[in-house]
Structure 1
């Protein structure tokens, strides 16, 4: 059995702006990572660096310009390693509906529950970044 995190929310921005914010390293570093690298191309490797102890890698498992971006973890801690997370984007009257998922967690443990909470906070940070231009310094992100 595996466990999954899902969050759906609206962002008042175009699908292209949301896609760029979740797939381009210069944007990821403004709301999620300390520093990251990668290109939104199928099977491309991304480096997601949070600290020296949390320097993780993943591969693009799904990409459709301005519509979908998913990453499969390849090198991370034992809870994150089997997981895939991603963003499916739907254009709406008011911007973009973001359908976020983080699937294949091996256990419904503290780390899974904490990560669900952290994703909610970080995704709200993504929303504020795109709607209001707010960049929370990395050390102040949860």
Structure 2
């Protein structure tokens, strides 16, 4: 059995702006990572760096420009390693409906629950970044 996280939200931005914010390293670093690298191309490797201890790697498992972007973890901690997370986008009247998923967690443990909460907070930061241009310094993010 595996466990999944789902969060959906409406962002008042174009699907291109949302896609770029979840797939382009220069945008990821403004709402999620400390520093990241990668290209939104199938099987491209991404480096998601949060600290020296949390310096993770993943590969693009699904990508369709301005519609979907998913990453499969390849080198992280034991809970995240079997997981895939992604963003599916749907245009809704001058906005983008973002459907987030983080699938295949091995256990419904404290780390799973904490990560679900963190994703909700980070997605709120993503919304504020795109709608209001707010960038929270990395050390102040939850």
Which of the five TM-score ranges fits, normalised by the shorter chain? over 0.9
For 2:6, the equivalent position in structure 1 comes to 6
Calculate the TM-score normalised by the size of structure 1. Answer: 1.00
Say whether residues 1:31 and 2:31 are aligned partners.
Answer: yes
Structure 2 alignment gaps of length 5 or more? none
The answer to whether structure 1 residue 48 and structure 2 residue 48 are counterparts is yes
Give the Cα separation in 1 of the matches to 2:65 and 2:129.
Answer: 20
Q: Secondary structure at the match of 2:102?
A: strand
* CA RMSD in angstroms, aligned pairs only: 0.3
4+ runs deviating over 2 angstroms: none
Give SS of 2:42's match: coil
CA distance, structure 2, for counterparts of residue 27 and residue 64 of structure 1: 18
Q: Matched residue of 1:126: which SS?
A: helix
Aligned pairs for 1:49-68 (under 5 A) are 49-68=49-68
State TM-score, norm by structure 2: 1.00
In the TM superposition, residue 94 of structure 1 has moved relative to its aligned partner by 3.4
1:79 aligns with 2:79: yes
Partners of 2:61 and 2:33 lie apart in 1 by 19
